Amino acid sequence: MTTAVLVQAQSNFGTDGLRGWIIDNVVPLGLLVVAVLLLWLGGGKGDNAGVMTRLGGVLVALALIGIAVSGAGVNIGSFIAGLFTSNG
């Protein structure tokens, strides 16, 4: 019993491995799927305006993923909160 507790206390548990795997594998695969769907659904019909509209949504989603992955959300939140608070 004490050996199991000691081993558990010495090892670092976390989600860094899973987070890295998702960033390295799932995000690029998702981008590839979105690109193929955009080309297949809109490009084949000549609906270039529709493709560009959807591409704008994809860019917004990518920006949100970038903010979430980099950890910049805290800085952005405090900046926005600073716009509504007075310093003097």
Domain ranges in the chain are 18-84
pLDDT of residue 35: 78
> 63, exposed or middle or buried, with CB in 10 Å at 0-12, 13-18, 19+?
exposed
> Rounded CA gap, 28 and 51, in Å?
20
At 25 the pLDDT is: 85
Q: What is the pLDDT along the chain (88 residues), one digit of tens a residue?
A: 555 555 555 566 677 787 788 778 887 888 888 878 777 777 677 777 877 888 888 888 888 888 887 878 888 888 888 889 876 5
The pLDDT, as a whole number, for residue 87 is: 67
Q: What secondary structure letter does DSSP report for 66?
A: H
Q: Residues 74, 50: contact at Cβ < 8 Å?
A: no
Give the per-residue pLDDT at 6. Answer: 52
∠ CA 67-65-56, nearest 5°, is 105
> Which two structure tokens, joined as six digits, stand for 64?
């949100």
pLDDT at position 85 is: 86
